[in-house]
Structure 1
Amino acid sequence: MGSLYGKMILRVCLFFPMPTWSRVSDLISEHGRSLSQWIHLGGVKAFLDGSLGSSSALFHEPYEGDPDNYGLQMTDLDSLLNRTLESDKSGLQVAIHAIGDKANDILLDMVDKIVDLNGAKDRRFRIEHAQHLAPGAANRFGKHGTIASVQPDHLLDDADHAWSKIGVERSERSSYTFRSLLDGGAQLAFGSDWPISDINPLQAIRSAVFRKPPGWEVPWIPAERLTLDESLKAHTMSAAYACFLDHAVGSLSEGKYADFVVVPSTSWDEFSSDLPGHVLATYVSGRQAYP
């Protein structure tokens, strides 16, 4: 392991399948959460539903043209609740995949139960994707500090076919509700979902700011656009917070690792109107790593 650490210049926060929660808990008890400055043990992850593209995301209403299909529930809810309670009780952070509006409502209800049974604490429960939300659901994320771990680049693909999957009205009111989540008090953290989407964070920031899929002349659901400041924070400080790593990364602050990039821009206003597509230099722990 020592030789591997010496070659790494990428920080990794690992989440393990939820059924292994007891082994992960033992590992953290034995070695701590940080195996080095590069490798951190985050917690456990589970899946509640599928995806929109495969018509397996779990919705309250059926898919368009398929009245018997509401999507798939990928795991037994009693089992998921029990494992989540045990994981949470042991101090592990929990992340669960939910894309459809019903799947997200189920998880928001589950968070209420977990807080009731295990008590209030800084747990930073993560809902991965939070892609389609029922009316009022965005406001529920702030109640217990639930993290909406979202991937802006997915909207570039979904904008072209969401209407055919769930209809125009549902897709327009429920899809990628970044502004509503922030306004509702959610912790909004950006990511890429690589290799499913482009790993380039500048592209994700651009997607959240402009929400214009390829070939579109107007934004998709413009009311849900974010400002540049909000998007940068979601991909830096909030992403670090979502991994319990905000003490070490996410901002240029005293006591944190000096991880940062240099982008071509002469002013903040210029950067906002024409986001750069490339990075001039990358620094990791204060040392130049690129070019």
Structure 2
Amino acid sequence: MAIKKADIVLSSDAIFTGLTHEPTSGAIAILGNKIMSVGSKAEIEPFIGNETKVFNYGNQLIMPGFHDFHLHIMFSALSLNSVNLFEARSAQEVAAKVLEFSKDCSEEEWIIGMQWDAGYWHDKQEPHYKILDAVIPDRPVVLFHAEGHYTWVNSKAMDLAGVTEDIRDPDFGRYERDKDGLLTGIFYEEAQQIVLKEALRLTQNKKETILKKFLQLLSQYGITSVNDLYAPIDDFLQDYDLFEKLDKQGELTTRFHITPELDGNLDKAQILRNEYESKKLQFSGLKQFVDGTVTGHTAYFLKPYSDQLDICGHPALDPDVLINRVVKADEHGFRIRFHAIGDAAIRLALDAFEEAVRKNGKRDSRHTIEHIEVIDQDDIERFSKLGVIVSMQPDHMAASSREVYSSIIGPEREKNVFLTKSLLNSGASLALGTDFPVSISLNPMRQIYTAITRVDSSGDPKNTWHPEQKLTLAEALQAYTYGSAYGCFREHELGTIEEGKLADLVVLDRNLFDIPENEVLKTKVELTINDGKVVYKSEETSLSSIF
């Protein structure tokens, strides 16, 4: 019987299948949207026909496509149409950048910025709406903090949103006020919603345009799958119908896994679970917040903050309500993912999952905790015992100013910051992602670099957070591919390079296993294949013969 010929064949002396800890020499044959065979170059040669596209990559690394286990799709798309403020070193510099950016925005548009962080400013003081008013008094401005949990707005934005001095704080979050009790223009957590409701009235055409732009960027970075996790901004920006439209039109060049809010409405969740189940667009669970962030002093800790001894933070939801929602959702077979930053929040999330097991029995739930920035040592082993997945974003440890972060949590808690290796060694499953746009970059290379070096916010390789917590390169790559696929219950078809799996692959411009660590950040994607189709090809890539 004649051997079927491949549509595409890739070969390299460095193929990282994810099944071992080192790359090997060989080739991969792709037919349709699946990997038809993996083997030596000689073993794959019979699959090459007259119409087969053959790519030979020397010693460049071929690996499974990156799977970003935690980001925010529409928020990310929005960020590509905003001004990035991460490099600003004062409130005045932020205002100047915003003014310059506004010149290219239409008059009716809200001016949107991302990634400001007072922790890097010379005075380290939170800003005031008057600083923005001084340069843009007549157009609404909303600027997202680098952690995404609070915003800085001008008076025009407050006026349009109906914010007045007598506004009351929400249950979770606050409207920041000065010593005289007057608003400063900084809105934390749920307090942001009143402004975002007005700021994010995007047309369908605008949503589709920015989403397609984001899809292009994902392919450029070799990201073939993503998990879209609920955030409060989704109340105004999310559009699953748009995702479905692009899916049906064959325009989803990255696999989307959606995780809407765990709000107690399981009937709605069931409808979404039944509706989105294609290979490119899948319902993947429910998500909720247990707490906020460290720098916003909304993270939930077992002991008081080191710089504010009268507060420990508090959970975003009443613990009884939260646990009850988990138990009921688990009973109906839903997987839950919790944002939990502080040690008390992480413990509460684990307690909720433990209660679900006690009441419903143990099952392969793959419940997940996100971020896990400051954990109590007693809770590390509970992840593997409960089968809870560890979802971390390495670049978070390099995003916030270490000086500011450490002063807030204190020296004792700093010993328990970002304990990635300890959690992995405990037997827990690990998946990596970016949390983009609540991160410096969407580029997986930044996450890999930080995971294997533990370099802090200084960027100096000599300054690391707990070097004993470094992952090996293979561990980081596996967590960014197989770990995420496992987290989506898709390890049978994604995450490794094996015969019969979906053909989601990426080729890098060098072999990560043969270069010094500092070169990881310089590494670029040369080819991205999603579902058997080339969705990104650098100008350097050319067709050639294997032999």
TM > 0.5: yes
Confirm whether residue 283 of structure 1 aligns to residue 526 of structure 2.
no
Aligned to 1:268: 513
Distance 2:287 2:246 in 1: 29
Distance 1:267 1:40 in 2: 31
Aligned to 1:43: 285
Distance 1:146 1:245 in 2: 16
Instruction: Describe the shift of the 1:21–1:202 C-alpha distance in structure 2 as closer, same or farther (beyond 3 A).
Output: farther
Aligned to 2:345: 103
1:21 corresponds, among 266, 269, 281, to 266
| Alignment of structure 1 residues 45-64 onto 2, 5 Å | 45-64=287-306
Aligned to 1:223: 468
2:418 corresponds, among 149, 171, 176, to 176
Superposition RMSD in Å: 1.7
Instruction: Describe the shift of the 1:182–1:221 C-alpha distance in structure 2 as closer, same or farther (beyond 3 A).
Output: same
Residue 391 of structure 2 aligns to a residue whose secondary structure is: strand
1:237 maps to a residue whose letter is: Y
Aligned to 1:11: 255
| Alignment of structure 1 residues 49-198 onto 2, 5 Å | 49-158=291-400, 159-171=402-414, 173-197=415-439, 198=441
How far residue 3 of structure 1 moved from its aligned partner, in angstroms, is 5.7
Residue 302 of structure 2 aligns to a residue whose secondary structure is: coil
Distance 2:299 2:437 in 1: 19
Distance 2:519 2:355 in 1: 45
Confirm whether residue 243 of structure 1 aligns to residue 488 of structure 2.
yes
TM-score, normalised to structure 2's length?
A: 0.50
Instruction: Describe the shift of the 1:41–1:267 C-alpha distance in structure 2 as closer, same or farther (beyond 3 A).
Output: closer
Residue 83 of structure 1 aligns to a residue whose secondary structure is: helix
Question: Larger C-alpha radius of gyration, 1 or 2?
Answer: 2
For CA contacts below 8 A with separation 6 or more, give which structure has more relative contact order. 2
Residue 69 of structure 1 aligns to a residue whose secondary structure is: coil
Aligned to 2:103: none
Distance 1:253 1:21 in 2: 36
Deviations 1:127-185 (A, max 9, x none): 111111012221211102101111111000243422111112321x1111001101111
Distance 2:328 2:426 in 1: 28
How far residue 218 of structure 1 moved from its aligned partner, in angstroms, is 2.8
Deviations 1:20-48 (A, max 9, x none): 332112343x44x61x2210001111111
Distance 1:245 1:132 in 2: 29
2:328 maps to a residue whose letter is: E
Structure 1 runs, 4 residues or longer, greater than 6 Å off? none
- What 5-or-longer segments of structure 2 have no aligned partner? 1-243, 538-547
Distance 1:62 1:278 in 2: 44
Instruction: Describe the shift of the 1:113–1:279 C-alpha distance in structure 2 as closer, same or farther (beyond 3 A).
Output: same
Q: Percent of counterpart pairs with the same letter?
A: 34
Q: Quick check: 1:247–1:256 contact (8 Å CA) kept in 2? A: yes
Aligned to 1:212: 455
Q: Quick check: 2:449–2:517 contact (8 Å CA) kept in 1? A: no
Residue 377 of structure 2 aligns to a residue whose secondary structure is: coil
2:372 maps to a residue whose letter is: A
Q: Quick check: 1:228–1:272 contact (8 Å CA) kept in 2? A: no
How far residue 271 of structure 1 moved from its aligned partner, in angstroms, is 6.5
Distance 1:13 1:271 in 2: 34
Residue 290 of structure 1 aligns to a residue whose secondary structure is: strand
- What 5-or-longer segments of structure 1 have no aligned partner? none
Please identify which structure carries the higher strand content. 2
Q: Quick check: 1:162–1:168 contact (8 Å CA) kept in 2? A: no
Instruction: Describe the shift of the 1:270–1:48 C-alpha distance in structure 2 as closer, same or farther (beyond 3 A).
Output: same
Deviations 1:222-278 (A, max 9, x none): 111110011001111001111212222111122221111111224723276732431
Distance 1:246 1:93 in 2: 16
Q: Quick check: 2:326–2:336 contact (8 Å CA) kept in 1? A: yes
Residue 141 of structure 1 aligns to a residue whose secondary structure is: helix
How many residues are paired up? Answer: 287
Distance 1:98 1:64 in 2: 19
1:209 maps to a residue whose letter is: I
